[in-house]
């Protein structure tokens, strides 16, 4: 036993010396390259003196980084995340300047801007060297992970030995996209879990599956706000879309706005009387909603209220940025992702690919934040939760969804993102093998994405333009000149029995003060008239705007409308005068037929919501190629009915019960919540032996999955 301890001590000392030596060489190289960084006096020094100066400087910088850096980051937790990312480099450079000042030789100095560069390079090189050396030492990994776990549990109750559960949400990845990625070999970790062999996703000869893949069906509002609220809190009642107008308050609710997210979470808790899926020793990471978790980081619903130490929305950044090398790696990957996006968008433009949307402005930075910074910080937070032995963790990785909106759900851009997400899953799986309790990893998505060009690109006008034209209100000249705009104006004049007007004058019907509020959520549009305090009926809309409903229903880019009816309660309207009461949709699905099974139930449920819009508009859908037409500027969209957007997935361990009876797919986010609740109860059963794992786990989360 004593011999083992000595070998471990020598191994650790050897790695430390090697990292110190590489850092010293890095400092010497940088001193020779950078004009404002020197390690010798003005009169010159011997090579030995310069080498000693570099060695002392590298050693002092390493010690300061290990001791001082975590304290500095903790003091800066209240600084906004993006500002903190920039301050990281300033502080890192300041530590280097301090190290040079403390150097006994007194011969070294650097300009402030040069110190930032030197510190960044040295941190990255030292981290890479330490990781490369330790990767050959399985015991070193396990010791470090258990030390981290003990540190996190210090002072707390003993860690349970029953299995914990990690729910990893791959935002926007549809069931069909996941299957295609496995067949192409893009996601080897998922393929291994499913027992698939190499290539084409065929079953492996020896089986070996550990997980099952199940498709589930979203509600009509197929977007993260509705799905994640239902999954985490058990109710997404009265969430008709991603954004909608509420007449009683006169406000537009937007699911990714902090105040709206907090209000939606409050309503769900009030309706269910339950805190959420994660109420028992849970952690919520990178989500819109907290799910009742004790530990929350990067959670939108708590960003709107005063933050305590326990509920600080950016608390997850501390665990990540406490290591300066993490900041350097993430920054380099951030820049690489910006360059990658610019190159990909330029290639698409030069090739004149269709469909295509604008990808300029701040979008490259937004994409890099979603695919690099958010991913790195969330994965690091989940790693910490596993080492702390938390019972339930729910984390959202948004990278795919962000890229697919602008690049399309299928293609080389999104395939690269899927590959990096698979590496993140592999990393979390490796960490789970060294956690203080066994873990079951469940991977799921909140919705898919459907391809298709935008409504504006195909018809030359937006949904708002079409609504205004159908109301007889002025529209932009570009919309006037389109075929759709001309048809809408002609329909208005015909409905009002008026002749063709000369000089481009427009008739403004009665109630001209009622400017319609037109909002878009993917391929779902919502039209509300704010001066009417209640939800308008078809009869009231026809009386005020006789041509509006027929203009919308007969437009080739519109699939169907939902409106309230004084006679039938609610009706679905389609082209050529189709009008089907909701209670007859099971016998005659009419325009809903192309949207597949469950469409009628989804529409009826949304009709029951108090804040459903006066007119709900779902775009055209081609069932042959899955295409929809987004009312937003997106070529991969979700939010309504039609295609892959309504078909997300559940990837669950075989140790847990099947999601549905007789292999039936769960329907709706609230149903998924009940399934996840059941799995948590199952995991809280008999003790499960802790797996030792076949190999090492990467020492730092970001290092393994940086692009």
Count of residues for the chain?
Answer: 707
Q: What's the rounded Cα separation, in Å, for the pair 483 and 461? A: 10
What's the pLDDT band for 359 if we cut at 50, 70, 90? Answer: confident
What's the pLDDT band for 477 if we cut at 50, 70, 90? Answer: low
Q: What is the pLDDT of residue 38?
A: 59
640 within domain boundaries: no
Do the Cβ atoms of 207 and 242 come closer than 8 Å?
no
15 within domain boundaries: yes
351 within domain boundaries: yes
What's the pLDDT band for 623 if we cut at 50, 70, 90? Answer: very high
228 within domain boundaries: yes
Q: What is the pLDDT of residue 137?
A: 44
Whether residues 441 and 568 share a domain: the answer is no
Whether residues 375 and 411 share a domain: the answer is yes
What's the pLDDT band for 205 if we cut at 50, 70, 90? Answer: very low
- Cis bond before residue 341 (omega within 30° of 0): no
704 within domain boundaries: no
Q: Mean per-residue pLDDT for 697-705?
A: 39
How many angstroms separate the Cα of 601 from the Cα of each of 497, 584, 639, 661? 38, 11, 16, 20
Whether residues 617 and 657 share a domain: the answer is no
Q: What's the pTM?
A: 0.78
Q: Of the ranges 15-29, 328-342, 596-610, 641-655, which one carries the lowest mean pLDDT score?
A: 15-29
How many CB atoms lie under 10 A from the CB of residue 159?
19
695 within domain boundaries: no
Closest CA to 563 of 555, 576, 574, 554: 574
> Tokens at residue 246, please?
């509420």
Q: Where are the beta strands (DSSP E) in 464-546?
A: 517-521, 524-528
The partner residues of 366 in beta bridges, in order of sequence, read none
How many percent of the chain have pLDDT more than 90?
A: 50
Whether residues 275 and 414 share a domain: the answer is yes
Domain count within the chain: 3
How many angstroms separate the Cα of 569 from the Cα of each of 405, 514, 540, 560, 582? 36, 24, 13, 17, 8
Q: Domain boundary at 136, 171, 203, which?
A: 136
Q: Mean per-residue pLDDT for 259-273?
A: 95
Whether residues 125 and 233 share a domain: the answer is no
What 3-state class would DSSP assign to 144? helix
Whether residues 485 and 622 share a domain: the answer is yes
Q: Domain boundary at 136, 164, 181, which?
A: 136
Q: Residue 203 belongs to a domain with what CATH number?
A: 3.40.720.10
Could you read off the pLDDT of 168-187 as tens digits, one per residue? Answer: 999 999 999 999 999 999 99
Q: Is the confidence at residue 687, as pLDDT, over 80? A: no
Whether residues 554 and 595 share a domain: the answer is yes
Q: What is the pLDDT of residue 410?
A: 87
- In degrees to the nearest 10, what's the CA dihedral of 121, 127, 129, 132? -140
Whether residues 178 and 98 share a domain: the answer is no
- In degrees to the nearest 10, what's the CA dihedral of 572, 573, 577, 582? 10
Whether residues 489 and 584 share a domain: the answer is yes
Give per-residue burial for 496-507: e unless 16+ CB within 10 Å, then b: eeeeeeeeeeee
Burial-class residue 534 by CB neighbours within 10 Å (0-12, 13-18, 19+).
Answer: exposed
Could you read off the pLDDT of 62-92 as tens digits, one per residue? Answer: 665 655 555 555 544 444 444 444 445 555 5
706 within domain boundaries: no
Q: Domain boundary at 136, 159, 177, which?
A: 136
What's the pLDDT band for 28 if we cut at 50, 70, 90? Answer: low
Whether residues 483 and 560 share a domain: the answer is yes
128 within domain boundaries: yes
Q: What is the pLDDT of residue 549?
A: 96
Write out the residue range of the structural domain in which residue 541 sits: 455-634
Whether residues 296 and 410 share a domain: the answer is yes
Q: What is the pLDDT of residue 693?
A: 39
Q: What's the rounded Cα separation, in Å, for the pair 235 and 263? A: 13
Q: Mean per-residue pLDDT for 268-293?
A: 94
Q: Is the confidence at residue 272, as pLDDT, over 80? A: yes
Question: Which residues, other chains included, contact 368 with Cβ-Cβ below 8 Å and sequence gap of 6+?
Answer: 334, 335, 337, 338, 341
Whether residues 459 and 438 share a domain: the answer is no
Q: Mean per-residue pLDDT for 300-307?
A: 70
Q: What is the pLDDT of residue 691?
A: 37
């Amino acid at each position: 036993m004593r011999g083992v301890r000595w070998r471990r001590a020598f191994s650790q000392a050897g790695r430390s010396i090697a990292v110190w030596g590489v850092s010293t060489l890095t400092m010497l190289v940088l001193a020779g390259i950078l004009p404002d960084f020197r390690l010798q006096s003005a009169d010159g020094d011997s090579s030995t003196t310069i080498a000693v100066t570099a060695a002392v400087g590298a050693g002092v910088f390493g010690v300061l980084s290990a001791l001082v850096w975590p304290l500095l980051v903790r003091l800066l937790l209240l600084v906004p995340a993006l500002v903190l990312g920039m301050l990281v480099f300033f502080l890192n450079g300041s530590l280097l300047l301090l190290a040079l000042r403390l150097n006994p030789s007194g011969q070294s100095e650097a300009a402030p801007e040069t110190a930032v560069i030197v510190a960044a390079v040295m941190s990255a090189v030292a981290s890479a060297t330490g990781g490369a050396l330790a990767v050959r030492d399985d015991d070193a990994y396990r010791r470090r992970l258990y030390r981290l776990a003990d540190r996190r549990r210090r002072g707390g109750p003993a860690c349970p030995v029953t299995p914990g559960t990690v729910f990893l949400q791959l935002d926007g990845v549809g069931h069909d996209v996941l299957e295609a990625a496995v067949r192409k070999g893009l996601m080897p970790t998922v393929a291994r879990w499913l027992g698939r062999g190499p290539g084409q996703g065929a079953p492996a000869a020896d089986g070996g599956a550990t997980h099952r893949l199940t498709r589930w069906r979203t509600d009509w509002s197929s977007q993260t706000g509705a799905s994640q609220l239902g999954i985490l809190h058990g109710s997404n009642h009265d969430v008709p879309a991603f954004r909608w107008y509420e007449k009683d308050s006169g406000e537009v609710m937007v699911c990714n706005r902090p105040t709206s997210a907090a209000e939606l979470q409050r309503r769900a808790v009030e309706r269910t009387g339950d805190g959420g899926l994660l109420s028992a020793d849970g952690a919520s990471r990178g989500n819109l909603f907290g799910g009742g978790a004790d530990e929350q980081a990067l959670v939108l619903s708590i960003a709107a209220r005063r933050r305590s130490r326990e509920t600080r929305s950016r608390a997850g950044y501390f665990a990540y940025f406490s290591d300066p090398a993490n900041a350097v790696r993430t920054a380099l990957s951030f820049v690489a992702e910006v360059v990658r996006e610019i190159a990909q968008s330029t290639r698409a433009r030069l090739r004149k690919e269709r469909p295509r949307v604008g990808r300029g402005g701040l979008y490259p930075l937004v994409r890099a934040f979603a695919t690099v910074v958010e991913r790195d910080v969330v994965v690091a937070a989940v790693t910490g939760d596993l080492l702390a032995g938390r019972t339930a963790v729910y984390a959202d990785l948004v990278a795919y969804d962000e890229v697919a909106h602008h690049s399309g759900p299928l293609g080389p851009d999104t395939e690269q993102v899927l590959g990096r997400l698979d590496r993140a899953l592999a990393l979390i799986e490796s960490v789970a093998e060294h956690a203080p309790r066994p873990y079951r990893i469940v991977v799921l998505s909140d919705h898919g994405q459907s391809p298709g060009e935008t409504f504006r690109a195909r018809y030359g006008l937006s949904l708002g333009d079409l609504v205004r034209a159908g109301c007889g209100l002025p529209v932009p000249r570009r919309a006037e000149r389109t075929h759709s705009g001309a048809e809408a104006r002609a329909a208005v004049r015909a409905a009002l029995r008026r002749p063709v007007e000369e000089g481009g004058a427009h008739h403004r019907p009665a109630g001209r003060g009622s400017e319609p509020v037109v909002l878009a959520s993917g391929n779902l549009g919502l039209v509300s008239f704010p001066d009417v305090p209640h939800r308008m009926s078809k009869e009231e809309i026809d009386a005020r705007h006789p041509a509006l409903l027929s203009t919308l229903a007969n437009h080739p880019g519109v699939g169907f409308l939902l409106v309230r009816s004084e006679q039938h309660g609610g009706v679905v309207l389609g082209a050529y005068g189709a009008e089907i009461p909701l209670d007859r949709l099971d016998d005659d699905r009419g325009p809903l037929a192309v949207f597949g099974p469950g469409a009628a139930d989804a529409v009826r449920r949304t009709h029951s919501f108090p804040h459903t819009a006066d007119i709900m508009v779902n775009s055209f859908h081609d069932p042959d190629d899955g295409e929809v037409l987004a009312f937003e500027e997106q070529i991969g969209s979700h939010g309504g009915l039609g295609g892959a957007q309504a078909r997300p997935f559940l990837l669950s361990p075989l140790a847990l019960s099947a999601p549905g009876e007789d292999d039936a797919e769960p329907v709706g986010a609230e149903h998924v919540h009940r399934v996840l609740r059941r799995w948590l109860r199952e995991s809280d059963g008999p003790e499960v032996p802790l797996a030792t794992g076949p190999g090492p786990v990467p020492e730092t989360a970001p290092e393994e999955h940086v692009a």
